Structure 1
Amino acid sequence: MTQGPEDPNVPPPYGETPPPADQPAPTPPPYGQTPPPQPGYQQPGYAQPGYPPSGYPAGPYGASPQAPYGIHPVTGLPYSDKSKLVAGLLQIFLGGFGVGRFYLGDTKTAVWQIVVTVLTCGIGSLWGLIDGIIILATDSKDMNGLPLRPS
């Protein structure tokens, strides 16, 4: 055999045959420590750190009983049961009456939109139109702080 390491735990260089099996077993590590497990088929795989978000069981993306509508990819929060498209369109077309805000559960803002629309003889309904566009264009949240579903 060519010159190489004398440690029996180190494999031989490429192209050389391993030493015969009748050699004595390698000595255990010092201080009575057990050696680390050798890789094999019976060992479980390693999970990615931080995935899935804490509190949610592992499974396919969005297939969790705690997050039936999926999980927001950036924040890791589960999606709300309210739809962004529905809230935005209700607010655009019926914004003077605060319908989109009532849908989201934000009754305080919805009542103020009705009051402003009535006091300004309908001019205040522009608030509802602008609010609907903002709901559609940004990552809006419902009253529980959960992001709205994309569709």
Structure 2
Amino acid sequence: MTQGPDDQDQPTPPPYGQVPPPPPPPQQGYPQPGYPYGASPQAPYGVHPGTGLPYSDKQKLVAGLLQILIPLGIGRFYIGDTKTGVWQLVVTVLTCGLGALWPFIDGIVILATDSKDANGLPLRN
């Protein structure tokens, strides 16, 4: 039994009782207007490449410099970590300024590491 050219052009029907799969959606070659490559409304500042978490709206440089230049826990208040900010403020006041070493070192740590804000999102650069 030979098959002619007409038999090869016909798609094979699905097995009995199964519905054929829907056709694939049309592909769009360009991203949506207003969103650059990879940006989305859920991650307006981008996504951290290591963890996949969206970046925070707070900046690492601002938080670190506030901690270093004003060593009263102001940088911690900026990123939303008010508990640590209050502790740093209280320690600095109660030790007559000697406790300002803690926020100063904390500012260096914020700048040197992948710090997170109060919501657990990584600070953006």
TM over 0.5: yes
Q: In structure 2, what is the Cα distance between the partners aligned to 1:30 and 1:126?
A: 73
Instruction: Report which structure shows greater RCO (CA 8 Å, sep ≥6).
Output: 2
Aligned 8 A contact 2:46 2:54 in 1: yes
| Aligned equivalent of 2:7 | 25
Q: In structure 2, what is the Cα distance between the partners aligned to 1:84 and 1:74?
A: 17
| Aligned equivalent of 1:142 | 117
After TM superposition, the structure 1 = structure 2 runs for residues 42-61 of structure 1, keeping only pairs within 5 Å, are 60-61=37-38
| Aligned equivalent of 1:117 | 92
Decide which structure has greater helix share. 2
Q: Tell me, which stretches of 5 or more residues in structure 2 are unaligned?
A: 28-34
Deviation, 1:74, is 1.4
Q: In structure 1, what is the Cα distance between the partners aligned to 2:25 and 2:115?
A: 44
User: Does the alignment pair 1:66 with 2:42?
Assistant: yes
After TM superposition, the structure 1 = structure 2 runs for residues 125-136 of structure 1, keeping only pairs within 5 Å, are 125-136=100-111
Secondary structure of residue in 1 paired with 2:7: coil
Label 1:24 to 1:118 Cα distance change in 2 as closer, same or farther (>3 A). Answer: closer
Deviation, 1:34, is 9.4
Deviation, 1:135, is 0.4
**Which structure would you say has the larger Rg?**
1
Deviation, 1:70, is 0.9
TM-score, normalization: structure 2?
0.74
Identical counterparts, % of pairs: 68
Q: In structure 1, what is the Cα distance between the partners aligned to 2:6 and 2:44?
A: 58
Paired residues in the alignment total 112
Runs of 4+ aligned structure 1 residues displaced above 6 Å come to 33-36
